Amino acid sequence: MIRHLLALPLLLAAAPAAATAGWSCRATAPVGVTLDIVAGTGSPGGLVGATLRDGAVRRSTFDGGLRIGQSWIDEHSLLLDLLDGAGGERVARLRVTVRGELGRRAPAGSLEYGGRIHRIACVPEG
């Protein structure tokens, strides 16, 4: 019991976990390319990670297969360059714009991947 009481000040002083939100972006043509994005909503915020799927192929920043190169997120746009986790070559480039108020309209744009430019639509998650 005393041990638990001694730990109480540490628990009360601990910072809250950073909240996350995200988007699931899918190619509008039936080609099977998806990009799931996780963003931090607290301070400082920003993009946390992404998972790219193309059929049976899956690459992610969460397992070291990809890494975030450049990124930008605000209420009007989402820009993301994904690099190869080992070599650093660009694997994918996402450019999404939001027309109108964020959350009221689905973001849409393009995903450069696999030598093609895919039209993409994103749905908010979380």
- C-alpha neighbours within 13 Å on the C-beta side of residue 124: 13
Q: Reduced to 3 states, what is the DSSP secondary structure of residue 25?
A: strand
Helices H / strands E in the chain, number of each: 1, 9
pLDDT at residue 42, as a whole number: 59
Planar angle of CA 56, 30, 117, nearest 5 degrees: 90
Query: pLDDT (tens digit, 9 = 90+) per residue, 75-99?
Result: 788 899 999 988 889 999 999 987 6
In angstroms, rounded to a whole number, what is the distance separating the alpha carbons of residues 62 and 53?
13
pLDDT at residue 7, as a whole number: 39
pLDDT at residue 16, as a whole number: 40
Query: pLDDT (tens digit, 9 = 90+) per residue, 27-84?
Result: 987 678 999 988 876 555 577 889 999 988 999 999 999 999 988 887 788 899 999 9
In angstroms, rounded to a whole number, what is the distance separating the alpha carbons of residues 35 and 23?
8
Domains of the chain: 17-125 (2.40.160)
pTM for the structure as a whole? 0.74
